[in-house]
């Protein structure tokens, strides 16, 4: 279990030193022009003509990034790995590539660390409304992802917790389960800070990153770091937060899109959307680095399994201006 501390532990220091990463939103939504779906999209609609995971990770390496975070399962419940827990997965789709395996192998090739995103909210799984059955279901899926078959996993990004009361997720149980397999994996839950609630929903705006205050309460606990996508924290970001009267050090990870209009997944209109201002990203990176926080930029692969050229060019401009690019 997470221990109270006023300073970063070994795992948190390693995360802070990673500094910069790539988010990869890819899945069944990519082929249906939607950011979120309800778990009812036909599995046949997931049909990438290729999965160029090597080029994804190579781009991250060239841009001076030190880790990638891959979507394994979004709110729709569609799984991008070789799972035995559900038929709603790549195993039963036109392209059966285990995407987690492909990205893991590319990470090992380029010396980049692997992180995984996993949605707690699952709009497809039938046992979802039975809290205990669903926690057992998640434990089985997390075992597949974390038991070492994909190598070291340095970060686990939980999302969708707003759809149930905090206690329903049994986060302490999931946290311990993951740590038993990947002790150094840093676990974060979106919308980390806020008052613990017996009702589902989002924390109040008072607890958005720009409003963080020293010793604010933790809504999602245990967590090794703070999240609230795609918001930026304060320049004088406080690091100590409380749960049940105990104090915990938590760094912050800013997660942002390459494009404006809240564009996480690729769509037919994605390339026409304006790019995020690279100068603003550079400014935020420097603020985050100075405050011992980290940044992740989302580059969603397209329906051919390739990153978008405009995203790559913007990213490389940022990396060159920060003098962190690699050859």
Per-residue pLDDT of the chain (327 residues; tens, 9 = 90+): 789 999 999 999 999 999 999 999 999 999 999 999 999 999 999 999 999 999 999 999 999 999 999 999 999 999 999 999 999 999 999 999 999 999 999 999 999 999 999 999 999 999 999 999 999 999 999 999 999 999 999 999 999 999 999 999 999 999 999 999 999 999 999 999 999 999 999 999 999 999 999 999 999 999 999 999 999 999 999 999 999 999 999 999 999 999 998 899 999 999 999 999 999 999 999 999 999 999 999 999 999 999 999 999 999 999 999 999 998
- The span from the CA of 198 to the CA of 145, in Å, is 29
Q: Global pTM?
A: 0.98
Residue 44 near residue 93, CB atoms below 8 Å: yes
Q: What pLDDT score was predicted for residue 1?
A: 75
Q: What pLDDT score was predicted for residue 121?
A: 98
Q: 246 φ, ψ to 5°?
A: -110, 155
Q: What pLDDT score was predicted for residue 190?
A: 98
At what angle are helices 99-110 and 53-62 packed, to 10 degrees?
A: 40
The encoded tokens of residue 169 equal 């997720």
Q: What pLDDT score was predicted for residue 262?
A: 85
3-state DSSP call for residue 121? coil
Q: What pLDDT score was predicted for residue 2?
A: 87
Distances (CA, A) of 134 to 78, 164, 195, 197: 15, 12, 24, 20
The CATH architecture of the domain made up of 10-322 is Alpha-Beta Barrel (3.20)
**Taking Cα atoms as reference points, which of 216, 215, 187 lies closest to residue 204?**
216
The encoded tokens of residue 118 equal 């996993």
Q: What pLDDT score was predicted for residue 50?
A: 96
Per domain, the residue ranges of the chain are 10-322
């Amino acid at each position: 279990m997470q221990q109270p501390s006023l300073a970063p532990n070994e795992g948190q220091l390693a995360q802070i030193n990673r500094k910069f990463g790539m988010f990869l939103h890819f899945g069944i939504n990519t082929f249906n022009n939607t950011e979120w779906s309800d778990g009812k999209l036909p599995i046949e609609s997931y049909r990438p003509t290729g999965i160029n995971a090597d080029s994804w990770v190579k781009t991250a390496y060239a841009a001076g990034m030190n880790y990638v975070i891959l979507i394994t399962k979004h709110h729709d419940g569609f799984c991008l790995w070789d799972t035995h827990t559900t038929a709603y997965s790549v195993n039963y789709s036109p392209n059966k590539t285990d995407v987690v395996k492909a990205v893991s192998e590319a990470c090992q090739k380029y010396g980049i660390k692997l992180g995984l995103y996993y949605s707690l909210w699952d709009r497809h799984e039938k046992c979802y409304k039975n809290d205990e059955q669903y926690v057992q279901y998640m434990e089985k899926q997390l075992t597949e992802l974390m038991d070492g078959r994909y190598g070291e996993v340095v970060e686990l990004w939980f999302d969708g917790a707003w759809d149930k009361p905090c206690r329903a997720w049994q986060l302490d149980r999931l946290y311990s389960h993951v740590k038993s397999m990947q002790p150094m994996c840093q676990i974060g839950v979106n919308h980390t800070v806020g008052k613990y609630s017996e009702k589902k929903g989002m924390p109040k705006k008072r607890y958005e990153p720009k409003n963080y205050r020293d010793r604010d309460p933790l809504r999602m606990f245990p967590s090794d770091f703070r999240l609230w996508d795609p918001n930026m924290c304060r320049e004088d970001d406080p690091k100590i937060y409380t749960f049940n009267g105990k104090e915990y050090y938590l760094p912050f990870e800013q997660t942002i899109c390459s494009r404006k209009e809240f564009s996480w997944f690729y769509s037919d209109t994605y390339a026409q959307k304006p790019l995020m201002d690279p100068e603003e990203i550079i400014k935020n990176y420097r603020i985050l680095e100075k405050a011992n926080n980290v940044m992740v930029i989302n580059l969603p692969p397209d329906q051919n399994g390739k990153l978008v050229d405009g995203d790559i060019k913007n990213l490389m401009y940022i990396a060159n201006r920060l003098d962190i690019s690699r050859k």
